[in-house]
Structure 1
Amino acid sequence: MWINPTYAPHDALGTAKALVDAHPLAVVITEDPLAIAHMPILWRETAGGDPVLIGHMPLADPTSKQLAAGGRVTIVFPGPASYITPNWYHSEGLPTYNYAPVHVAGVATRLGEAELREHLLDLVADHEAGHSLDERAWALDGDAHARLERLLPRVLGFSVPVTELQVKTKLGQNRDAADNATVASQLAAGDSADREISSMMRGQCPHTPS
């Protein structure tokens, strides 16, 4: 991913973690042969404090073959995106998007069964804790645990160290304060992605008042 230096965040690692935590559904891409899958990925840390991505994949998915063999993988988190109309600019402009993707590339390592089980339980807990459409957090009961155990032999767990990282936060850094103030205000009244971009603009774009 090409990144204009204007759109490179000052804290790439911290920004990436926040984006992955908020948008865990990723595009998993393996090479030779090319295979693509969409799976939720968690950002975690090793015992030594190094960031690592943890995920899983059905063994029936062709993408899993390269992961199981320790192949190179690229994981793309599209992140939030908002269309920006020139109607919101005070100065001359053209239509564009403000957006914030994360790319991580590296070599996959297969998880053992106990690590995979721990990851799947962690994944459920993580998503249920952040689910706001239902007041009750769902938890595995005996039947769900039994189903999980039956499925484990059909699932590949994998980890990818966060050593090759790219983060792009295109948030209007090339616009002036008046344009960004209007854009952020308009987006604040939009959907969840719009509101997130608005918040990121206020937090990271030097021309945007809070």
Structure 2
Amino acid sequence: MYTSPTTREDRQDVLVAAIRSIQFGALVVMSSDGLSASHIPMLVREGADGAIELEGHVARPNDLWRTAQAGVPALAIFQGPQAYIHPGWFPTKKADGKVVPSWNYIAVHAHGTLEAVEDSAWLRSHLSDLSDLNEAGRPEPWTLTDAPEDYLAAMMGAIVGLRLRVDRLEGNWKMGQKQKLENRLGAIDGLLASSHSEDHDVALTMRNLLPTAP
């Protein structure tokens, strides 16, 4: 992934936190038919030694798990908040007109070795943790035990687990850091006035990256 010195993020704790928050990513491998990608939610497992693994699963008819069976290089891509930046939000536009549209975004890439997992205990634990994470805080959270055991066994038989052993993480927090402070503040105001919630998320991220409080 291309990054610039002003936008590159390489702190593992920040990158892992972003993956945990985003969850949903594109898992890319090279198959015999060329590049293949599946879009799936993924869990993060972080060992005491700092080792990171990503867990996911795909439907059994999805050939990606067969490609990964013996272990293959893979890339997991996570996209965070992103937004179009209107040049009219920049105060310097009125001064010299030297502004153009841009796009602000967060992206995290996880590189590693992907393997298929067909162990039923592993898969049950993975599914339980994935559902518990996303059901937390609901008035009536769903759990695996809510489903009849024979039905759950049939559903689990229709999927295959995936485990990505991560050996490299990289991130890009492109949030207008190269712009003058007045332009960054103008873009934040413009995004906050938008009706799109993701624009608001970008604005808050930009605000957190300001060198000084406005």
TM-score (norm 2): 0.86
Deviation at 1:202, TM superposition (A): 1.8
| 1:7 alignment counterpart | 7
Secondary structure, aligned partner of 1:82: strand
Separation (CA, whole Å) in 2 of partners of 1:135 and 1:88: 41
Deviation at 1:47, TM superposition (A): 5.0
* Aligned twin of 1:87: 88
Counterpart of 1:159 (choices 150, 157, 163) is 163
Cα RMSD (Å) = 2.1
Deviation at 1:142, TM superposition (A): 4.1
Alignment of 1:8-87 (within 5 A): 8-9=8-9, 12-33=11-32, 34-46=35-47, 48-87=49-88
Larger radius of gyration: 2
Distance 1:47 1:110, change over 3 A: farther
Indicate how the Cα distance of structure 1 residues 135 and 65 shifts in structure 2: closer, same or farther if over 3 A, else same: same
Q: Greater strand share, 1 or 2?
A: 2
- Closer/same/farther in 2, CA of residues 122 and 145 from structure 1, 3 Å limit: farther
Q: Is the 8 A contact 1:173 1:206 kept in 2?
A: no
Q: In 2 relative to 1, CA 114–47 (structure 1 residues): closer, same or farther, beyond 3 Å?
A: farther
Task: State the TM-score, normalized to the length of structure 1.
Answer: 0.87
Counterpart of 1:162 in 2: which secondary structure?
strand
Q: Which residue of 1 aligns with 2:104?
A: 98
Residue number in structure 2 paired with 1:201: 206
How much does 1:32 deviate?
3.0
Residue 123 of structure 2: which of 116, 121, 132 is its match? 116
CA distance in 1: counterparts of 2:61 and 2:154, whole angstroms:
15
1:168 aligns with 2:172: yes
Q: Which runs of 5+ in 2 are unaligned?
A: 93-97
Are positions 1:192 and 2:178 aligned together?
no
Spell out structure 1 runs of 4+ moving beyond 6 A. Answer: none
Assess if the C-alpha contact under 8 Å between 1:172 and 1:205 holds in 2.
Answer: no
CA 1:185 to 1:114, structure 2 compared with 1: closer, same or farther past 3 Å?
A: same
CA contact (8 A) 1:68 1:156 kept: no
Are the counterparts in 1 of residues 65 and 115 from structure 2 also a CA contact under 8 Å?
no
Give 1:201 shift.
1.2
**Between Structure 1 and Structure 2, how many residues are aligned?**
205
